[in-house]
Chain A
Amino acid sequence: MINKGGQSVRKLLMTLSLALAGAGLIWGIVMTRGGEWIKTGFRFFTGEGAGLSLTWKVDGLTVFFLFILLLGQGLSSLYSIGYLKEYEEKKKSLWPFFTGWFLFLGSMFGVLLADDGFSFLLMWEMMSLFSFFLVLYEHEDPQNRKSAYIYLVMTHVATVFLTAATMFLYSKTGSFAFEVWAGVVPMLTTVQLNLLFLAFFVGLGSKAGFVPFHIWLPYAHSAAPSPVSTLMSGVMVKVALYLFFRLVWLMLGPGPVWWGWLFLLIGALSALVGILFASVQSDLKKLLAYSTIENVGILGMALGSAFLARSWQNDWAMNLALVAFFWHALQHMLFKSLLFMGAGNIIQATHTRNLERLGGLLRRMPKTGLAALVGIVGITALPPLGGFWGELILFQSLWLNTLELTGGWSKVFLPISIGILALVGGLSLATFVKWFGIAFLGQARSNVAERAEEAHPVQFITPLLVGGLAILSVLWPAATLEFINLPMSVLRTGEVISIGSNLGKPLFMTSVYLILISLLTVVVVVLTKRGTRRVTATWNCGTPLTSRMQYSATGLTKPIRILFSKAVGSHRHVERNFVESSYSLRSLRYEGRSKEVFEDVFYRPLIHGLFWVASQIRKLQEGSIHLYIGYLLITVIVVLILGR
């Protein structure tokens, strides 16, 4: 009876979350049809008191990210209706989850809407805390507790930088309002401006997952329950990136050229490091989390290209870079949600996240598999789906940026970043062939994979729906561009040009390509339909085939691990036990690992340094009463001198 009550609460609350998202979306679409407030902004909540004035504002930029947030919320709520059933069956209380869920979503809304430093920091901190609680929801697993702990520490390091920037601006202006801050920016010295930028860069960049502040991300995103992972990877990183526009692009202004280079460099580094580590993972969700770092890197590169074009006054390239950013942000939200949902289904069906124990799931979970296939085509940036078109526009923007420059070595470095993006594309192909191929194709590698069953209908309908949306966004690019137009009109100064007409034909290629390739495939399928087919055993040189003969997840990307062994810190340990001579082996133990290089080269020395400083400071506190009296004496003298 109690169980039944719990079930209806789950359905009720998640449907409520879904309905809220749906209502928000519809209301938003109706509201955004025209209206001056898209460009100028609309303040709808102002409260004063205790010396603080709080304002919330909506403009075109906010609306776009609200759209991503609402869409992400709706989809993951729908998915949760099925996903949370398992916890219910395990008799695990869902109330902490619901509380965290709604507060997490609410605080993300708050961050997007905040128009002053105080409410921004408050909401930002709430967003971090409630997502921390959600990561900790499955706290029974010590691994998850460790992940949540790393997340908590890293997220507060980020907040320190943001608080410092806020405090600085408050001390300059005596106000928290973004509007007032923007007014004071032209008066700042170059050093102050650059320091502010760096504080925002580190603070927001760690939340977005830029390398080298990324180390929390693979832990936290993979430890959270799958619906929460979709929100964190699909939405939360974009909320952090949104603030780059709000606080850096709009407030700090164009800035020097090196800001753009920093974005481009860190973006390229994040993309490369993210996908490299993703390619050597064997954990279903950790791989996806690392791929989020890659995609954040690609978004960072788009930002970099936009910033560079802005400082070089290359309007066309800037437009393209911004369109690429928003397009990719939307597509990544769709595909990453889809893949995390797929991973969630697999984990519920097999209770393992280890790729080495999966295999052959496409026959047992056909619908999840179909959705996941759409997901990997999208996430590896291949046509005909949306991931590719975003990258195409980014390529084009980098290309134009280079072409329009009058001279300098930038003309070499920018095209090299195109090469890096191509390398990232190749690596992500390998990564997701591994993710999909090892999990869904071939033979089952363990009993759990053999016994897997298709998930609850809601759990495969939702990812299929996401896939459908992704296809729709490509089939009807004009509608997608309408949404991208909203933030564009805020970010660009000067007259509003409809991007749709400006991009013109190339963007309609998206639908042309999709239709043509589908037609061609259908024609080929029909033409080769005749003939007989027979199911037989796999050819294996005449010996029986066991499931251990297939390539493993580790084996599939072994060449990559060898080529980039320094970067991924691959480590191999072989122990041989011989009977008597070295010809008869008794046992062999092999261990291969790759480790987070950044933890070793960046964080460990940092932590050691901090501990060292702390231990030095501790020497002040010797425990001797004479020393303390001496301190008092010194203090009194110093105060007397200062207060003279």
Chain B
Amino acid sequence: MDELSISIPRLLMGFGHLALILAAAPLLQGFIKKSKAFWQMRQGPSILQPYRDLRKLLKKEELISEHASWIFLLAPRIGIAATIMAGLVIPNAWGWAPLSGWGDLFLFGASLGLVRLFITLSGLEGAGTFGGMGSSRELFLGLLTEPALLLGLIVLAFITQTTSLQGITSGLETISPIFIPRILALLTLGIVSIAEMGRIPVDNPDTHLELTMIHEGMLIEYSGPSLALLNFAEQVKQLLLISLLAQIVWPSGLISGSNGLLGLLWALGFAGVKVAVLGFFFATVESLFVKRRLFLLPNYLATSTASAILALVSLWFIRGQI
């Protein structure tokens, strides 16, 4: 009975977490698009446009390649499910994550890996060149980003002495924001996030040009509800990465002394502002730079790995352990 009274509110909080992620993801996408339009001196589509796009796609007829197998339809569904699983370990606006325990930072990376597995497989489904090209490049990028992502998070785990993401963000509250290892780890994660979100200079989310596309290449055979799911999964992943970064830059749980509904709303609004600022930042980066050639990317991503290692060395150095 006692366990029940603990687990039911937790379950409800879990659903709240889930609903928040799902509802906010397209909004963030719309906001980033709007920010890019701002830099390009355009008016741009409404912030709510991504919702409309998703609704439209969900209603459309779905075309399936004659060469495709059941994995073609399964991949988007597993993709969204695994992205949500990754979301369950990311602490939300109130600094709380539904699944937390030791090692959940690895769970985050691996869940995104599962998405990558299925989407790269689906790229090979259509038996065309574009899909294969996208898969090949995505796999290449994946092996470059994964070590950097993990090393960056590991450094934070060493700083806060826990491998739970929830623990990391709450532990960071007591660490100075200009602590050198923290800044370097943040740099790592920032660079990796750009690659994981498929943004310039790694990938260009706005084109279907054969020369530039990576993510879009894999999705080229998709249409209708499956495409909606894949786009949605990408938006959710973007929200997760940005809110993780936001929590690392400026960790905030429930603002103390203000419990109750007002406190909840206040924390939510504060987190929303943080995420929006970071979203605007990434839109600015995207507007300032050009997409780089595929084989220049190893250097770019090696920078992030190097800065993670530097963060590690500097951490032990500052703590006098080397």
Which residues in A have some Cβ–Cβ distance to B below 8 Å? 359-360, 362-363, 369, 373, 376-377, 380-383, 388, 391-393, 395-396, 399, 402-403, 405-409, 411-412, 415-416, 418-420, 422-423, 425-427, 429-430, 433, 436-438, 440-443, 505-506, 509, 512-513, 516-517, 520-521, 524-525, 528, 531-540, 545, 547, 549-551, 555-560, 562-563
Select one of A377, A396, A512, A535 contacting B102, CB under 8 A: A396
- Contact indicator B111/A412 (Cβ below 8 Å): no
Select one of A429, A442, A555 contacting B143, CB under 8 A: A429
5 tightest A-B CB contacts, nearest first: A551-B132, A426-B143, A520-B81, A559-B140, A430-B139
Q: Which residue of A lies closest to B131 (CB)?
A: A551
B residues in contact with A376, CB < 8 Å: 117
* Sampled A-B contacts (25; CB under 8 Å): A359-B127, A377-B117, A380-B117, A382-B114, A396-B163, A405-B321, A411-B321, A419-B151, A419-B305, A419-B309, A422-B146, A422-B151, A427-B143, A429-B113, A442-B125, A442-B126, A506-B103, A532-B61, A534-B62, A536-B65, A550-B124, A551-B129, A551-B131, A556-B139, A560-B139
B57-86 contact mask (Cβ, 8 Å, vs A): 1 or 0: 011111111110111000001101110110
Q: Which residue of B lies closest to A536 (CB)?
A: B63
B101, CB-defined interface residue at 8 Å: yes
- Contact indicator A399/B163 (Cβ below 8 Å): yes
B179, CB-defined interface residue at 8 Å: no
A598 CB to nearest B CB, Å = 22
A278 CB to nearest B CB, Å = 13
Select one of A377, A380, A441 contacting B69, CB under 8 A: A441
B98-116 contact mask (Cβ, 8 Å, vs A): 1 or 0: 0101110011011101101
CA distance A372 to B126 in the complex (A): 20
Given contacts A521-B78, A536-B63, A559-B137, contact A382 B127 (CB under 8 A): no
- Contact indicator B295/A562 (Cβ below 8 Å): yes
Given contacts A412-B322, A506-B101, contact A433 B81 (CB under 8 A): no
A residues in contact with B163, CB < 8 Å: 396, 399
B203 CB to nearest A CB, Å = 14
- Contact indicator B110/A399 (Cβ below 8 Å): no
B67 CB to nearest A CB, Å = 5
Select one of B121, B135, B312 contacting A412, CB under 8 A: B312
Select one of B77, B82, B313 contacting A525, CB under 8 A: B77
Given contacts A362-B71, A383-B114, A443-B127, contact A422 B59 (CB under 8 A): no
Known A532-B62, A549-B127; further 14 A-B contacts with Cβ < 8 A? A396-B103, A402-B158, A412-B316, A415-B151, A423-B147, A437-B124, A442-B124, A513-B85, A534-B62, A538-B221, A540-B129, A556-B124, A556-B136, A563-B140
B residues in contact with A403, CB < 8 Å: 158, 161
B residues in contact with A534, CB < 8 Å: 61-64
- Contact indicator B62/A426 (Cβ below 8 Å): no
Interface centre among A418, A517, A562 (most CB of B within 10 A): A517
A residues in contact with B145, CB < 8 Å: 426
Select one of B60, B78, B143, B322 contacting A411, CB under 8 A: B322
B200 CB to nearest A CB, Å = 19
CA distance A422 to B154 in the complex (A): 12
Enumerate B140-186 residues with CB–CB distance to A below 8 Å: 140, 142-151, 154-155, 157-158, 161, 163
Number of interchain pairs (Cβ within 8 Å):
256
- Contact indicator A433/B135 (Cβ below 8 Å): yes
B30, CB-defined interface residue at 8 Å: no
- Contact indicator A539/B143 (Cβ below 8 Å): no
- Contact indicator B143/A430 (Cβ below 8 Å): yes
Given contacts A412-B322, A422-B146, A517-B85, contact A545 B128 (CB under 8 A): yes
CA distance A331 to B220 in the complex (A): 36
A603 CB to nearest B CB, Å = 28
Interface centre among B136, B224, B320 (most CB of A within 10 A): B136
A residues in contact with B283, CB < 8 Å: none
A196 CB to nearest B CB, Å = 33
- Contact indicator B146/A423 (Cβ below 8 Å): yes
A600 CB to nearest B CB, Å = 25
B191-232 contact mask (Cβ, 8 Å, vs A): 1 or 0: 000000000000000000000000000001100111001000
- Contact indicator A538/B143 (Cβ below 8 Å): no
Enumerate B36-72 residues with CB–CB distance to A below 8 Å: 58-67, 69-71
- Contact indicator B322/A382 (Cβ below 8 Å): no
B207 CB to nearest A CB, Å = 16
B226 CB to nearest A CB, Å = 8
A residues in contact with B71, CB < 8 Å: 362, 373, 441
CA distance A534 to B114 in the complex (A): 28
Interface centre among A407, A558, A559 (most CB of B within 10 A): A559
B65 CB to nearest A CB, Å = 4
B298, CB-defined interface residue at 8 Å: yes
B residues in contact with A422, CB < 8 Å: 109, 146-147, 149-151
B242, CB-defined interface residue at 8 Å: no
CA distance A549 to B117 in the complex (A): 22
- Contact indicator A528/B117 (Cβ below 8 Å): no
CA distance A501 to B147 in the complex (A): 31
- Contact indicator B110/A537 (Cβ below 8 Å): no
- Contact indicator A533/B61 (Cβ below 8 Å): yes
Select one of B81, B140, B298 contacting A524, CB under 8 A: B81
B79 CB to nearest A CB, Å = 9
A residues in contact with B157, CB < 8 Å: 399
- Contact indicator B135/A551 (Cβ below 8 Å): yes
A residues in contact with B70, CB < 8 Å: 362
A residues in contact with B238, CB < 8 Å: none
CA distance A362 to B74 in the complex (A): 14
Q: Which residue of B lies closest to A409 (CB)?
A: B322
Q: Which residue of A lies closest to B221 (CB)?
A: A538
A residues in contact with B312, CB < 8 Å: 411-412, 415
A residues in contact with B221, CB < 8 Å: 538-539
B269-293 contact mask (Cβ, 8 Å, vs A): 1 or 0: 0000000000000000000000000
- Contact indicator A425/B321 (Cβ below 8 Å): no
CA distance A440 to B71 in the complex (A): 10
A residues in contact with B81, CB < 8 Å: 517, 520-521, 524
- Contact indicator B117/A551 (Cβ below 8 Å): no
- Contact indicator A557/B139 (Cβ below 8 Å): yes
CA distance A403 to B174 in the complex (A): 19
Q: Which residue of B lies closest to A524 (CB)?
A: B77
Given contacts A419-B150, A532-B62, contact A560 B107 (CB under 8 A): no
B294, CB-defined interface residue at 8 Å: yes
Given contacts A422-B147, A516-B85, A521-B81, contact A433 B139 (CB under 8 A): yes
Select one of A377, A380, A531, A540 contacting B128, CB under 8 A: A540
Q: Which residue of B lies closest to A534 (CB)?
A: B63
CA distance A493 to B121 in the complex (A): 47
CA distance A374 to B229 in the complex (A): 23
- Contact indicator B113/A531 (Cβ below 8 Å): no
Q: Which residue of A lies closest to B119 (CB)?
A: A433
- Contact indicator A423/B117 (Cβ below 8 Å): no
CA distance A380 to B114 in the complex (A): 9
B120, CB-defined interface residue at 8 Å: yes
CA distance A582 to B132 in the complex (A): 31
B residues in contact with A392, CB < 8 Å: 103, 106-107, 110
CA distance A418 to B81 in the complex (A): 27
B residues in contact with A547, CB < 8 Å: 127
A566 CB to nearest B CB, Å = 13
CA distance A426 to B109 in the complex (A): 11
- Contact indicator B62/A531 (Cβ below 8 Å): yes
B161 CB to nearest A CB, Å = 6
Given contacts A416-B309, A524-B81, contact A556 B113 (CB under 8 A): no
- Contact indicator B133/A551 (Cβ below 8 Å): yes
B residues in contact with A427, CB < 8 Å: 143
- Contact indicator B61/A442 (Cβ below 8 Å): no
- Contact indicator B128/A557 (Cβ below 8 Å): no
Select one of A441, A525, A562 contacting B121, CB under 8 A: A441
- Contact indicator A407/B229 (Cβ below 8 Å): no
Q: Which residue of A lies closest to B316 (CB)?
A: A411
Enumerate B288-308 residues with CB–CB distance to A below 8 Å: 294-295, 298, 305, 308
